[in-house]
């Protein structure tokens, strides 16, 4: 298997807490998100019907709770697809409504003030 190729695609100043940046690497559109200080990189393609998922809203989601209760949490960790609203956990890539579906994630490293992504 070939070694992953690292690409410098942003600076840390461009991705403050809660920040987002869309970049193109080797012809792929990739979204970078700062999720509580950790930068994650995901392919800008929704596994449902291929929408540009990285343009969706980032917020929280409803948490398991007792009947009649409404519990909101995980603010800043959940990406909602702009087409049909399916929610994805940015920290794992997992789809919240279908465990078999995931966002394609890429390794990220921060070196000095540079953000690098490996393809
Ligand atoms: S294309 Fe993303 S939820 Fe349908």
Give the model confidence (pLDDT) of 86-103 as tens digits: 999 999 999 999 999 999
Q: pLDDT value at position 93? A: 97
> Please, is 29 exposed, middle or buried when counting C-beta atoms within 10 Å of its C-beta (0-12, 13-18, 19+)?
middle
Q: pLDDT value at position 72? A: 96
Average pLDDT of every residue of the chain: 96
Ligand 1: lining residues by beta carbon, under 6 Å: 46, 48-49, 51, 53, 81, 83-84, 86
Segment 36-78, tens digit of pLDDT: 999 999 999 999 999 999 999 999 999 999 999 999 999 999 9
Q: pLDDT value at position 19? A: 97
Q: How far is the CA of 51 from the centre of ligand 1 (A)?
A: 6
Q: pLDDT value at position 1? A: 75
Q: pLDDT value at position 116? A: 98
Q: How far is the CA of 110 from the centre of ligand 1 (A)?
A: 30
Domain-by-domain residue ranges, the chain? 6-118
CB 95 within 8 A of CB 49: no
Provide the 10 A C-beta neighbour count for residue 47.
19
Q: How far is the CA of 106 from the centre of ligand 1 (A)?
A: 20
Segment 7-36, tens digit of pLDDT: 999 999 999 999 999 999 999 999 999 999
Could you tell me what percent of the chain has a pLDDT over 90? 96
Q: pLDDT value at position 69? A: 95
Q: How far is the CA of 87 from the centre of ligand 1 (A)?
A: 9
Using the atom order of ligand 1, give the atom closest to the CA of residue 51.
1
CATH architecture of the domain covering 6-118:
3-layer Sandwich (2.102)
């Amino acid at each position: 298997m070939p070694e992953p190729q690292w690409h410098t695609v942003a600076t840390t100043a461009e991705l403050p807490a809660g920040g987002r940046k869309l970049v193109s690497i080797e012809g792929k559109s990739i979204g970078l998100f700062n999720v509580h200080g950790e930068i994650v990189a995901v392919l800008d393609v929704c596994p449902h019907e291929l929408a540009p998922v990285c343009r969706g809203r980032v917020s929280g989601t409803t948490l398991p709770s007792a009947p009649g209760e409404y519990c909101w949490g995980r603010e800043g960790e959940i990406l909602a697809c702009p087409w049909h609203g399916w929610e994805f956990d940015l920290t794992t890539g997992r789809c919240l409504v279908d465990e078999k579906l995931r966002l394609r994630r890429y390794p990220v490293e921060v070196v000095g003030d540079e953000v690098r992504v490996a393809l």
